[in-house]
Amino acid sequence: MNTHKCIVLVVGSWLTGVLHSISQLVFSVNLPFCGPNKVDRFFCDLPLVIKLACTDTYILQILMLSDSGLMAMISFLLLLISYTVILLTVRRHSLVGMAKAQATLSAHITVVTLFFGPCILIYAWPFSGCFRAGPPPGPMDKANLSGVSEFVLLGLSSSQELQLFFFAFFSVLYVVIVLGNLLIILTVTSDASLHSPMYFLLGNLSFVDICQASFATPKMIADFLSEHKTISFSGCIAQIFFIHLFTGGEMVLLVSMAYDRYVAICKPLHYLVIMSQRTCTVLVVISWTVGLVHTLSQLSFTVNLPFCGPNVVDSFFCDLPRVTKLACLDSYIIEILIVVNSGILSLSTFSVLVSSYVIILVTVWFKSSAAMAKAFSTLAAHITVVILFFGPCIFIYVWPFTTYPVDKVLAIFYTIFTPILNPIIYTLRNRDMKAAMRKIVAHYLRSKKVSEIPLVARNSLY
C-alpha cells in the first residue's frame, strides 16, 4: 500500500461516484413534472422526486435498482466478505489477536451497517408503495394485476408415447446425476489425498450441479405423467430465482477452476501459496455471492410484472425470457435488462474461460510438444463442457427478443446434460479420483462382507 496505490484508490472512488451520479441524472433530468411539487424530505431524494413525475415510473425504478441498489448491495457484501476473511486469518494466529480484531471490526461493522442499511432499504426496494408513482391501484387494477395465479408449462412434447419415453429417460438421468455427484462429494471429503484446491472446487461444483439439476427436473419428470402441467405464480418465481442462483454461481466456479489450472500449469512453484485454503474458500463464497446478486437483480424487475392475459409458457420450466413476454406491458426494456444482466455475465465468463485456456496452451506449447498434447487432451474435455453449458445460455439470454422452439431443447443442456457431464469429464478421466473411488467401493464391499459373517465366526477371526 504505497502512496501511488492510495492515490489510485482515491481517484477510483471519485470516478466511480461521478459515473454513478451521471448515470442517475441521465434518466432523471428529462422527466416531465407537471403536477405536485412537494418532496417529503429535507433534500431532493431521487425515489421521492421520481414519484412526482407525470409518467409511469416503473422502468425508472428498475433502472434505479440496477444502478444504486446493486451498487449498495455489492459494496456491502464485499465489505462483509473482507471482514470475514480478516477474522479467519487472525483466528489462525492467536486468540488474543482474534479478540482484538473483533473489538476493532465491530465498530467498523456498526458504521458500515448504519451507512449501507438505509441505502439498501431506500434504493434496493424502490417498488414499495412509498416510492411508486401515481395513485394507488383501484379495484379493477388489482383484479388485472392478480389475474394470473398460475402458469401452464407445455413441456418438451405433447405426444403421449414420447412423454412416457422422456419419463423413463430423464428419471434415469436424474438418478445418475444425483448419485454421481454425491459420489464425487463423498470421495473428495473422505480421501485425505484429495484434500487439495482442485478437488475442493470440484466438490463444490458437484454440489452446485445437484442443485441445478433439482430445481426443475423432478417437476418436469412428474409432469410427463400429468395432463395438466401447471405451476403456481410463486413456484414460477422460485424457479427463476434458483436457476439464476445456480447457473450464475456455476459460471464463476468454472472460472475459479480454470484459474486453479492456470496457476498449477503456469506457476507450479507458487501453486500451494496462491491456491491456499483461504483463497479457495473466498472463490467459493464469491461464486455464491455473484449468483445471489445476479438472481436478485433478475427478480427485481420480474416479481412485480403485471400478468393479466395469456399464461402458457412453452418450456418445461419458467424460463425468464418466456415469462416476461407474457406480461401486460411492453417488455422491450425488460429484455434489454436481461441482456445487460444474464447476457453479459454469460459472455464475460465465457470469454475469461476461453482466454485462460488459450494462455495455458500457449504456456505449455513453449515447454514441450508432449506437454502440449497432454494439456490439449485435458482441456479439450473441459472446453466441451464449457461450450455445452455456455452456448445455450448465451443463445437464450443474449438474444431474448426472439424466442425459438429450440430454446427449451437448449435449456436441457445447462440444466440436465452439463450436471451429468461434469462427473464424467472431471473424474473418470482423472487417475486420482478413480483410485479413490475404487478404494471407497472396496471398503464398502469389505465392510458389507464382514457384517454378513456370523458373529461366532467373526470372533474367531479376531
pLDDT at 30: 63
CA 181 to CA 184: how far, in whole Å?
Answer: 5
pLDDT band, very low/low/confident/very high, at 360 (cuts 50, 70, 90): confident
240 plus 313 within the same structural domain: yes
95 plus 206 within the same structural domain: no
Identity of the highest mean pLDDT range in 2-11, 14-23, 88-97, 247-256: 247-256
CA 315 to CA 318: how far, in whole Å?
Answer: 7
297 plus 333 within the same structural domain: yes
290 plus 422 within the same structural domain: yes
Using alpha carbons, select from 19, 420, 433, 373 the residue that is nearest to residue 185. Answer: 433
| 6 within a domain of the structure (yes/no) | no
297 plus 215 within the same structural domain: yes
116 plus 159 within the same structural domain: no
Q: Say what the alpha-carbon torsion angle 341, 347, 353, 356 is, to the nearest 10 degrees.
A: -110
pLDDT at 138: 42
pLDDT at 288: 92
Q: Cell numbers of 2, please?
A: 504505497
60 plus 197 within the same structural domain: no
pLDDT at 141: 42
Beta carbons within 10 angstroms of residue 4's beta carbon = 8
pLDDT at 242: 92
The CATH number of the domain where 311 resides is what?
Answer: 1.20.1070.10
pLDDT band, very low/low/confident/very high, at 452 (cuts 50, 70, 90): low
Using alpha carbons, select from 190, 397, 203 the residue that is nearest to residue 283. Answer: 203
Share of the chain above pLDDT 90, in %: 10
74 plus 221 within the same structural domain: no
Q: Please check the confidence at residue 133 and state whether its pLDDT lies above 50.
A: no
DSSP 341-403: IIIHHHHHHHHHHHHHHHHHHHHHHTT-HHHHHHHHHHHHHHHHHHHHHHHHHHHHHHSTTS-
What are the CA-CA distances from residue 71 to residues 20, 45, 60, 349, 424 (Å)? 9, 17, 16, 20, 39
pLDDT at 100: 76
How many domains, the chain?
2
Lowest model confidence (mean pLDDT) among 174-183, 215-224, 416-425 = 416-425
pLDDT band, very low/low/confident/very high, at 304 (cuts 50, 70, 90): confident
* CB-neighbour burial class of residue 5 (10 A; exposed 0-12, middle 13-18, buried 19+): exposed
pLDDT band, very low/low/confident/very high, at 280 (cuts 50, 70, 90): very high
49 plus 188 within the same structural domain: no
The residues with which 232 forms a beta bridge, in sequence order, are 150
| 116 within a domain of the structure (yes/no) | yes
Q: Please check the confidence at residue 325 and state whether its pLDDT lies above 50.
A: yes
Mean pLDDT of 377-397: 79
Mean pLDDT of 311-317: 87
Beta carbons within 10 angstroms of residue 316's beta carbon = 27
Mean pLDDT of 51-73: 72
pLDDT at 450: 60
What are the CA-CA distances from residue 12 to residues 23, 64, 70, 451 (Å)? 16, 22, 18, 66
Q: Cell numbers of 404, please?
A: 425459438
Q: Cell numbers of 451, please?
A: 457384517
Using alpha carbons, select from 400, 269, 251 the residue that is nearest to residue 334. Answer: 400
Q: Cell numbers of 279, please?
A: 483463497
78-108 pLDDT, tens digit per residue, is 888 888 878 777 777 677 777 777 777 788 8
70 plus 187 within the same structural domain: no
Chain mean pLDDT for the chain: 79
Q: Are 250 and 243 in contact (CB under 8 A)?
A: no
Q: Please check the confidence at residue 171 and state whether its pLDDT lies above 80.
A: yes
| 94 within a domain of the structure (yes/no) | yes
23-37 pLDDT, tens digit per residue, is 677 667 667 777 788
Question: Looking at the chain, how many residues does it have?
Answer: 462
Tell me, what DSSP letter sits at residue 275? T
pLDDT at 448: 64
pLDDT at 135: 41
Q: Which amino acid is at 453?
A: I
| 451 within a domain of the structure (yes/no) | no
pLDDT band, very low/low/confident/very high, at 209 (cuts 50, 70, 90): very high
Using alpha carbons, select from 423, 421, 416, 389 the residue that is nearest to residue 214. Answer: 416
CA 90 to CA 107: how far, in whole Å?
Answer: 17
- Containing domain of residue 107, as a range? 11-123
What are the CA-CA distances from residue 338 to residues 122, 326, 328, 394, 400 (Å)? 23, 15, 17, 11, 7
